[in-house]
Structure 1
Amino acid sequence: MSTKGPFSPLAAVNEDQAALRGELRNDFTRLNPRFDTVEAKVDRNQAQIVELLTALLGKTPNGN
């Protein structure tokens, strides 16, 4: 079997790798908004924790 030319096993592997990279890129593009949503929720939860601790302890994280 020839290892050169458009029908070589190496050409097929290269095509498969390119297709896989494209699929992964698309998957990450679809996931980015989800990461943004999770990050916003974490920020809100952290703010709520600070508020609750401030109310319980009577001090802010700055020491006031």
Structure 2
Amino acid sequence: MSAKVPVHPLAGINEGQAALRREVRDGFAAVSARLDVLAGKVETRHAEILELLSQLGTKNPGAS
């Protein structure tokens, strides 16, 4: 007959906290990845706007 290993009363709480920490960490990683993509899109749009403004600035107003 094998002896039962005593289970600490707080073991379930510790396991729950560890699972919650993993979920929070994974959630932060997902949000961070989305923000990185969004930042890249903003940078691209910013560059496009600057290019359009620069083209607009080099046009001769009397030529139209």
Q: TM-score range by the shorter chain?
A: 0.5 to 0.7
Residue in 2 aligned with 1:34? 34
Higher RCO (C-alpha 8 Å, min separation 6): 1
For structure 1, list consecutive stretches of 5 or more residues without a partner in the other structure.
59-64
Match of 2:52 in 1: 52
Greater gyration radius: 2
Query: Structure 2: where are the runs of 5+ without partners?
Result: 1-6, 59-64
Structure 2 length normalisation: TM-score?
A: 0.56
Normalising by structure 1, report the TM-score: 0.56
For the aligned residues, what is the CA RMSD?
Answer: 2.5
